[in-house]
A and B are shown apart, each in its own frame.
Chain A
Amino acid sequence: MERYRILPHVADGKFRAFGATREEAFANAGLATASLMWDWWAIKALRSVPVAVEGRDLEQLLYRFLEEVLYLFETKNFLLAVVEDVSIEEGEDVFRLKAVFWGDEAGGRYEIFGAVKAVTYNEMKIERGCDGWAVQVVVDM
């Protein structure tokens, strides 16, 4: 299955990510976000970072999950290569996501070609189709 597709957007970054489950679609959205800044497939999976976020709804959960990619990059120099063990739990009025990011430290070895400034809710869609899930996101660049 195609992991994600980068869509045309005049000013910013836009993509649709796919998965048989919503966990898989979220994981692929993480990689799609990374793909706008570096080639995630070229990054060695040397370090792991546990990720845990909460959201009032699935949209906020996705927003905060993707924000982790930016946060870890900007504050820990962490380049995402692999998203593993995604779980999404629904509580009362809250969604909880856990995952493990694998990747490497930026430090001259990899080209960083883009800057995603922020995740946005603009045109965000989380959809369930007959053959799985699709999420659509626009990020500010």
Chain B
Amino acid sequence: MELRRVDDNTWEIPAHGRMTVPARIYASHKLVEYARGDSTLEQARNVACLPGIQRMSYVMPDAHQGYGFPIGGVAAFDLETGIISPGGVGYDINCGVRLLRTDFTAEDVAGKRKELLAEIFKEVPAGVGKGGVTKLSAGVLKEILVKGAPWAVENGYGTADDLLMTEEEGRMKDADAGRISPRALERGIPQLGTLGAGNHFLEIQRVDRIFQPETARAFGIEAEGQILVMIHCGSRGLGHQVASDYIQAMESAFGVRDLPDRELIYAPIGSAMGQEYYRSMCAAVNYAFANRQMIAHWVRAVFEKVLGSSRGMRQIYDVCHNVAKVETHVVAGREKKLCVHRKGATRSFGPGRNELPQAYKAVGQPVIIPGSMGTASYVLAGTAEAEELSFGSTAHGAGRIMSRHEATRRFRGERIRDELAQRGIELRATGWKGVAEEASAAYKDVDEVVRVSDEVGLGRLVARVVPVGVMKG
């Protein structure tokens, strides 16, 4: 396959064969080698063959192979001739990140870190097989699927201000819970308000470096040493089941013979099946928003309990990185409504976009990029260029480079805990093997990922944050 270098951080696979558009990869020399090493490029090419794809099949700097679509893939489709694909969203629908600011400094919490983390660990159900705290009926769950984070606020979890600082204000309005399978509901009931395991985490962080003071201030990040809280999780078993259900339903409806990969299954976006998936996906998105809303509420309560107040605790933003949305973008010089799939990619809208909260209209949206366990995470600002470069999208994290199996062979969880402790980072986890799987050496260098994002203009560096306390599910 021909991979043409456009400039230092931009690569292209020219349209050939059944591709109707080129594939474009944003990566440094170092990062593009990872993409060459697995099926990322082939998957980006397969996406470029799908009906109604617009402009290009885009690949973000942290990409790695997924199923059907690559992780770190962005593709937009025409609403008349295009498609919608569960594989273009991912199994963990609305996996995303929420970032909270506080007025506390690292010194304020220095003596209380252990206690804070212990209390959070108690309040927030974490790992796999841990049920949530709420016993829900299927009826209430369906209400949550339609209402999203506003349901949580109505029921005492957090405030209306949190909603303003959430993508879609915490609720996708096209959600329909009527077609969510009983099995998906069953998986969703015990897991509402849980963090989950794997790469999901909750971190107490301190601001390490501010690159753009003005934008940082607009986001509520004022000084190095300021304490933030980051929550990374998704729609749990409910979302996974919705994805599975529709992959199979679409197979039954359309067959799989013509697909290069069975996970590329799709439905025409205007078809009954396409619309049904879209509305069910929106319901799973809402579940995840409600989930993060509840977890943030418990974090606030823990700060109040341990530190006597949740001084200045306010939501900076909450972003989805596995989602399909209808958005307006420019194609061939004309504004057009499209269905944008972001799978392992974060929306990165610049100044002026209607979708942004008033407070961020002048500076662009906060883009939250979590690093791997124990490493830095980043806050970026969305850019106007990103709309032209990637339908307003950038990376979503570090991206794995080592299998979990290999990581557990090479690393010991207890050892990682001790090493983190030496660097002043407290770690709480439900099990040590899971910690070993998430060793930072199993991930790409997140610094490199955000550097490329900044250089290309997909998202501008605003602040670097580092953990002081990590809770791993």
Contacts and interface: CB of A to CB of B under 8 A. Distances in A.
B128 A112 contact: yes
Contact of B244 (A11, A36, A119, A138): A119
B125 to A, nearest CB: 13
Contacts of A113: 431-434, 437
Interface residues on A, range: 35 or more
A117 B128 CA distance: 10
Given A60-B251, A75-B186, A124-B262, A114 B198 contact: yes
A35 B263 CA distance: 24
Contacts of B404: 12-13, 36, 114, 141
A10 interface: yes
Contacts of A73: 128-129
Nearest to A8: B403
Interface string B184-210: 001101110000111000000000000
Given A112-B128, A140-B67, A71 B183 contact: yes
Interface residues on B, range: 35 or more
B263 A74 contact: no
A11 B64 contact: yes
A30 B128 CA distance: 18
Contacts of B240: 70, 117-118, 140
Interface in B47-68: 64-68
Question: Quick one: which of B187, B261, B262, B437 has the most chain A CB within 10 A?
Answer: B262
Interface string A107-121: 000011111011111
Interface string A65-103: 001001101110100000000000000000000000000
Interface on chain A toward B: helix, strand, loop, or mixed SS? loop
A6 B197 contact: no
Contacts of B402: 10
Contacts of B473: 115
Interface string B231-264: 0000001001101100110011000000001110
Contact of A111 (B252, B431, B437): B431
B92 to A, nearest CB: 6
Contacts of B406: 8
A116 to B, nearest CB: 9
B127 interface: yes
B67 A120 contact: yes
Contacts of B401: 10
A106 B130 CA distance: 9
B405 interface: yes
Nearest to A71: B183
A117 B92 contact: yes
Given A8-B406, A112-B197, A121-B67, 13 more contacts: A10-B402, A11-B66, A11-B403, A36-B404, A59-B262, A70-B240, A71-B187, A112-B431, A115-B127, A115-B128, A115-B196, A119-B244, A122-B261
Please list the 3 inter-chain residue pairs (A to B) with the smallest Cβ-Cβ separation, ordered nearest first.
A113-B433, A121-B262, A122-B67
17 contacts: A9-B405, A10-B38, A10-B401, A11-B64, A12-B404, A67-B244, A71-B183, A106-B129, A112-B197, A112-B431, A114-B433, A115-B197, A117-B91, A118-B243, A119-B244, A140-B92, A140-B240
